[in-house]
A and B are shown apart, each in its own frame.
Chain A
Amino acid sequence: MTEEHVLPHDEALSRQYRALAEETPSPALDAAILAAAERATAPRRASRRWWPAWRISPQWTTACATLLLGGFVYTLWPSAQPERSITADTHKPAAHEQSDATPPRIAQWQPAPLPAPTSARAQQAARHREEAQRLAKAEHQAFDAARVAAREAEELASEKVSKQLALPAPAAAAPAASVMARSSEAELSAPLADMASSPQIDERLQREIRQIRQLLAVGRNAEAEHAWRRLTAVHPRHALPEDLRARWAAPPAAAGIGASQPAAASSASSIE
């Protein structure tokens, strides 16, 4: 016996039920359901259409990554390049200054730490600051070279004066004033000529030194000393002639005696 036979059955009632007017869903209802089915399948078909294009083109992905990386590096390059050059500039003079045993004020000079640029304007300001620091460093280097040149010129002038003072008797018999005047001229001209040979010497400083020497030559010591004080106050780090420095570094009382003064200083006091 099957399951269907187990169920109660009424043949007449079944026939009556099948004879009922057949209700059918409206066309609008059919259209709504079929449209929903189409919408449900549309995204999957679309995804199948574009996804393989992404999947089979790793070159395109690599090109995009390279482009982005290149743009990133290009964006950072203008701010990174001066930073490296500043670092290279600051390391070289430091070693140079240590070897020359310059005054500690110059040797200890270091550029201020640069703040991280946050915007285009900040980057531009940082760039200007770096440029100014680089120029200041170059100026210090130029004055170092000038100081060395001045020292050499001074040594040369001292040698010349020593040779003239050590002349034989006929030459020594010449008037002391003329000898001292010539030595003073040599003292005046030789260092300045050597210093002028360096193109990096500040013309203004050179001119002031020349004026001081001229004042000394004509005997206006007070004005010369005043000019010297002002010069050393304005240019404390610059290389200045050692004879002038020694003249006014000694006590005023001893400056006029000239017994233990250098040759140039004694010659200057003789002129006075």
Chain B
Amino acid sequence: MPMADHDSDPRDDETLMQAWRDGELAAFRLLYARHRLRLYRFLVHETGNNAAGDELFQEVWLSVIQQRAGYQPWARFSTWLLETAHRRLVDWHRREHRHRWNSDLDAAHELVDQCPLPDATVANRQSGQQLRDCLRTLPPEQREAFLLKEEHELGLAEIARLTGAAAETVKSRVRYAISKLRSCMEALA
């Protein structure tokens, strides 16, 4: 099915979402075309496999379809979309790994990482596959914070609000994620 050209409409995401709420199917097509790739990559990298990414990707968009009547443009559409994705991810982690989703893990991981590798070393030695493998070794909270920053280019406040964590906790998660990825990539090289 051909994707709509998401740059053909000058309307922003919030306006398109309101149009979709009022029944305009073309607005949904535009929104889907604009956000499908980044959301899909985020979910695949977050879950670590394509099948789970597909499942969550479909669940998130079906949720957008079903909850369109209650949408209010109090926040950016991308934030609302990622909040939905975050809730699905938390459920998925609880279902798949019986993972305890809290910030207590951050304190334990903070003691491990003490000496991040230089940027040049990482850039020269890692390949894409190695980075993907290393992402899978991260705790879900750190991986999510890292992906939200790199994939969706969200700021600290947005990530904190989206994940429901404190700003300092988010900062620690991103810092630990970066340091662990450096260590992992260096070890694989």
A residues within 8 Å of B by Cβ?
Answer: 2-4, 6-27, 29-34, 36-38, 40-41, 44-45
Q: List 26 A-B contacts (CB under 8 A).
A: A2-B155, A3-B155, A6-B156, A7-B155, A10-B122, A10-B178, A12-B122, A13-B119, A16-B123, A17-B150, A20-B131, A23-B44, A24-B37, A25-B36, A25-B37, A25-B54, A26-B54, A29-B57, A29-B58, A31-B1, A34-B28, A36-B61, A38-B25, A41-B23, A41-B25, A44-B23
CB pair B41 A22 closer than 8 Å: yes
CB pair A33 B32 closer than 8 Å: yes
Query: How far apart are B182's CB and chain A's nearest CB, in angstroms?
Result: 7
A30-B157 contact in complex given A10-B122, A45-B23, C-beta closer than 8 Å: no
**Residue numbers in A under 8 Å from B10 (CB-CB):** none
Q: Which of B57, B157, B182, B185 contacts A3 (CB 8 A)?
A: B157
**Residue numbers in A under 8 Å from B156 (CB-CB):** 3-4, 6-7
Say whether B50 faces chain A, with CB atoms less than 8 Å apart. Answer: yes
Interface size class of B (residues with CB under 8 A): 35 or more
Query: How far apart are A119's CB and chain B's nearest CB, in angstroms?
Result: 52
Considering residues A7, A22, A36, A38, which has the most beta carbons from chain B within 10 angstroms of its beta carbon? A7
Say whether B105 faces chain A, with CB atoms less than 8 Å apart. Answer: no
Q: Which of B1, B65, B132 contacts A36 (CB 8 A)?
A: B65
**Residue numbers in B under 8 Å from A15 (CB-CB):** 123
CB pair A33 B58 closer than 8 Å: yes
Q: How far is the CA of A29 from the CA of B50 in the complex (A)?
A: 12
Q: What 0/1 readout, one digit per residue, does chain B (117-136) give for beta carbons within 8 Å of chain A?
A: 00110110010100110000
**Residue numbers in A under 8 Å from B62 (CB-CB):** 33, 36
CB pair A8 B171 closer than 8 Å: yes
Q: How far is the CA of A27 from the CA of B178 in the complex (A)?
A: 33
**Residue numbers in A under 8 Å from B1 (CB-CB):** 27, 30-31, 34
CB pair B126 A7 closer than 8 Å: no
A30-B36 contact in complex given A16-B126, A20-B128, C-beta closer than 8 Å: yes
List 5 tightest A-B contacts by C-beta distance, closest first. Answer: A12-B123, A3-B155, A12-B119, A8-B175, A3-B156
Say whether B93 faces chain A, with CB atoms less than 8 Å apart. Answer: no
Considering residues A6, A15, A17, A26, which has the most beta carbons from chain B within 10 angstroms of its beta carbon? A17
Q: Which of A8, A16, A31, A45 contacts B131 (CB 8 A)?
A: A16
Closest to A17 in B: B150
Q: Which of A6, A13, A21 contacts B171 (CB 8 A)?
A: A6
Q: How far is the CA of A238 from the CA of B156 in the complex (A)?
A: 116
CB pair B174 A7 closer than 8 Å: yes
Q: How far is the CA of A31 from the CA of B151 in the complex (A)?
A: 24
- Given contacts A10-B178, A16-B185, A38-B25, could you give 12 more A-B pairs where the C-beta distance is less than 8 Å? A8-B174, A13-B150, A17-B150, A20-B132, A25-B36, A25-B57, A29-B58, A30-B1, A31-B1, A34-B28, A34-B32, A40-B65
